A and B are shown apart, each in its own frame.
Chain A
Amino acid sequence: MTIPIDANEMTAAPERGRRRRRSRFDSDKAWLALMVGVPAFLHIVLVWIPALFTVGLSFTEWDNLAPLTDIRLVGFQNYWYIFTVFEADLFGALFNNFILIFWLTFCSAIGMLFAYLLDKNIRGSRIYQSIYYFPVVLSLAVVGFIWKSTMFSRDRGLLNVVWPGEPIDFVGDGTKIFAFDLPFLDPQLGLSRNFAALLIAMAWRHIGYIMVMYLAGLKAVDISLREAAAIDGCNEWQAFRHVIFPSLKPINVVVVVITVIEALRAYDIIAALNEPRGTEVMGTLVTRSLLGEGGGRVGFGSAYGVVLLLLCLGFIIWYVINHYRETDA
C-alpha cells in the first residue's frame, strides 16, 4: 500500500494538512480516553470505591435500614469487639482459612505431580487430563451438592465407607478432629469433621485446576534444558528439583496467588451447604454479619471484611509488583 495522503499534504496544502492531522490527533486522544474511561469508571466505582467505603464503615456504627445520616463514628470499637467479645467467631473462621491455605497448597503440589506424570508422553494422556480437569468447570456450590448427595450422608455416603468409626453425617457433624489451645486466646482452635469433608471436595476441584497450569508450564520448558540435565547425569529427582522446577517460576507465582486467594475468598461451597457450625470461614462470616439479623451489624461485618481485605491485599500487592516489575521495567 502507498501513502498518498501524506504526500498530498506535504506538497499541495501544508497548512490544511497540519490542521487535519492535528484534529485527527485530538480525535484519537478522545477515542483512547473513552476506551479507558468507561471501563475504568465502572471498575473504580463498583470495586475500589465500595472497598474503601467498607474500610470507612468499619469505624462506624450503623443499621443499614436507617438513613445515612444515622451513621455514627465509633473509632476502633468494632475492632475491639471482634477481637475480644467475638474472638471465637473471628479466630474460628481465620483458622479455617489458614487450614485451607495449607490444604490447597498441598493440593497444588499434587496437581504439579499429576502434571509432571502426564507430561511424560504417556498413552491416553488427554483422557486422563480431561477426567482430572472436569470438576473445574463446575460451580463450587454444585460441587458441594454433588458431594453432599453421594459422599457425605450418614446412611449411604461413600465417605462413610472409608471412615473407620461409627457412620457420621459429614455435612452437619461439627465435632473436632483435633483441637488445641493457644495461650493468648480463649476459644479452642481446631478442625471439625464437616470442614474436613469439605476440604476433600475442594481438593477434587483444585487439583485439576493447578494441573492444567503446570502442564502448560512444563510444555514450555526448553527441551535442551532437559537434555543438558540428562547428559550431566542428573537422576529424575535432581533434574526436577534443580532444572525443571526453577524454570517454572512464573507458573509457580501464579499458582501461589491462585491458591492463597482461593483459600482466603472461599465462600460458595460453604454458603451453599449452609452449615455454619464448624465450617465458618471469613467470607461467610462477613456475609452473615452484614446480612443477618435485620442488617444491624454493618460496623462489625465491615470490620471482619477489613481483616479479610488486609490478608488478601498482602498477596495482591506481592503479585502485582512481581508481575509488572518484570515485564515492564
Chain B
Amino acid sequence: MTATARHERRADVDDVLEAARQGRQPKPPLRPARIVLHVFLVTMALAWLLPIGTAVYNSFRFYESDTQVNGPFSLPDSLTLENYRDAWRVGEMSKTFFNTAFIVLPSLFFILLLSSMVAFACTRYSWRFNITMLVLFTAGNLMPQQVLFQPLFQIFKRVPWPDILSDTNTGNLLGTKIAVILIHIAFQVGFCTFVLANYMKTIPTEISEAAAVDGASVPVQFFRIILPLTKPALAALATLEFTWLYNDFFWGAVLLNQGDQRPITSSIAVLNGQYASDFNLIAAASIMIALPTLIVYLLLQKQFISGLTLGASKG
C-alpha cells in the first residue's frame, strides 16, 4: 500500500468515525451490490406478505362460486362480508373474545406484579438463595407445557371453588377460567422474572442505598423507587406477554373442555371442524383472531421488539 492510498483509507475511516460521532451512519453510495440487495429484500418481503395478503383478499370472496372456480388471484365476481359474519356466528366469537379478555387481562396484571416483586427481591437484596430462586424461575419457564397438565388436572380437581364464582357446577377449579389464569401466571412469571431481573441489575445500587439512608422501607423502595425506574421494561413485557397470552392455544384447549368457556384461539379449531373445506371462511376467522395482536404490534412495535431483546441481553 502506498502512502497516499493509506492516507485515503484513513480519510475514509475518519468520515465514518465523524458520522458515528454525530449519531448518524454514513450514507451508502448506490452501488450495483446495493441494488441486488434491495431486489432480494423486496422479493422476500413480497413472499412474506403473500400468505396473509391472499388470505385477506380471499376472505372477502365467496369460496365455492368464486375462488375455487377462478383462482385466488383472479378479479372477484363480487365482494362479500358473509365469511366474516358466518365465522363470527359459528365460532361464537363474541363469547370467545370475552373469554380471552377475561383470562388475559388479570393474568397480565398479576404476572407483571409478581415477577417484578421477585426480581426486585432477588436483585436488589442479597440473601442466601436469591440466585437459586432466579434459576428456578428461568428454568421453569422453559419446561414443556405438555408434561405438566395431567398432574395439574388432579391438583385443580382437588381445589374447592364455589360455583358462584365460575360458570361450572363441579365445586372445584377444574374447567374454570380461573384455573387457566393461575397456570398462565405461574408459567409466565418465569420469563418475566428473568427479564426484569436482568433489567433491575442495571439500576445503580447507590439509588437504593440513598433511599435506605432516608429510611425507605422495602415496600417504599419497591413501589416508589424501583418500579417507576422499571417502567420501560414493564411496558415492553406487557406488550409481549399480551400477545403470548392472547395466542395461547394449549392451556385453553386442554383445561377448558367445556365449549362455552373457550378462548378465541380455540374457536378456530371448532370452525375448522365444521367448515373444513370453506377456505375463505377459515381465512376470515384467522384474520379476525389475528387482528388484535396485529393492531397492538403496529401501535407498539418498539415495545414489542425491546421486550424480546431485553430477555436476550444480559444486565
Contact = CB atoms under 8 A, between A and B. Distances in A.
Interface of A: 1, 3, 5-6, 24, 27-28, 31-32, 35-36, 38-40, 42-51, 53-54, 57, 64, 68, 114, 117-118, 120-123, 127-128, 130-135, 137-142, 145-151, 153, 155-156, 158, 201, 204, 208-209, 212-213, 216-217, 220, 223, 227, 230-231, 250-251, 254-255, 257, 261, 264-265, 267-268, 271-274, 282-283, 286-287, 290-291, 298, 301-302, 305-306, 308-309, 312, 315-317, 319-320, 323-324, 326-328
A128 B136 contact: no
Given A50-B155, A264-B144, A302-B150, A145 B272 contact: yes
A141 B155 CA distance: 28
Given A39-B114, A142-B290, A319-B142, A51 B247 contact: no
Contacts of B34: 122
Contact of A309 (B143, B222, B247): B143
If over half of A's interface residues share one DSSP class (helix, strand or loop), that class is named, otherwise mixed; here it is: helix
Contacts of B185: 42
B314 A156 contact: no
Given A40-B136, A42-B186, A316-B139, A139 B250 contact: no
Interface in B16-42: 16-17, 20, 25-26, 28, 34, 37-38, 40-41
If over half of B's interface residues share one DSSP class (helix, strand or loop), that class is named, otherwise mixed; here it is: helix
Contact of B148 (A42, A51, A148, A328): A51
Contacts of B279: 148-150, 153, 156
B149 A147 contact: no
Which of A46, A131, A257 gathers most chain B CB within 10 Å? A46
B134 A324 contact: yes
B71 A156 contact: yes
Contacts of B67: 156
The 7 A-B residue pairs whose C-beta atoms are closest, nearest first, are A139-B247, A53-B151, A46-B186, A216-B309, A50-B151, A35-B117, A39-B114
B52 A146 contact: yes
Contacts of B268: 141-142, 145, 272
A131 B48 contact: yes
B186 A47 contact: yes
A150 B283 contact: yes
Contacts of B155: 45-46, 49-50
Interface string B199-219: 001000000000001110111
B117 to A, nearest CB: 4
A134 B150 contact: no
Contact of A140 (B249, B287, B301): B249
A294 to B, nearest CB: 14
Nearest to B306: A216
Contact of B193 (A27, A39, A216): A39
A42 B120 CA distance: 17
B96 interface: no
B135 A268 contact: no
Nearest to B118: A39
Contact of B265 (A141, A212, A316, A323): A141
B13 interface: yes
B115 A36 contact: no
A304 to B, nearest CB: 9
B54 A158 contact: yes
A43 B182 CA distance: 9
Contacts of A255: 312
Given A24-B217, A128-B45, A227 B51 contact: no
Interface of B: 9, 13, 16-17, 20, 25-26, 28, 34, 37-38, 40-41, 44-45, 48-52, 54-55, 58, 67-68, 71-72, 114-115, 117-118, 120-122, 125, 127, 131, 133-140, 142-155, 182-183, 185-187, 189-190, 193, 201, 213-215, 217-219, 222, 243, 246-250, 253-254, 265-266, 268-269, 272, 279-280, 282-283, 285-287, 289-290, 293-294, 296-297, 301, 304-305, 308-309, 311-315
A216 B312 contact: yes
Nearest to B120: A35
A40 B150 contact: no
A266 B213 CA distance: 51
16 contacts: A27-B217, A39-B117, A43-B189, A128-B41, A133-B305, A141-B247, A141-B269, A146-B287, A149-B286, A150-B279, A150-B283, A151-B51, A153-B279, A204-B51, A216-B312, A286-B146
Contacts of B51: 146-147, 150-151, 158, 201, 204
Nearest to B49: A131
B58 A28 contact: no
A132 to B, nearest CB: 6
Nearest to A121: B25
Contact of B140 (A31, A47, A54, A138): A47
Contact of B312 (A1, A47, A149, A250): A250
A71 B298 CA distance: 52
A305 B145 CA distance: 10
A40 B142 contact: no
A194 to B, nearest CB: 14
A142 B309 contact: no
A309 B37 CA distance: 43
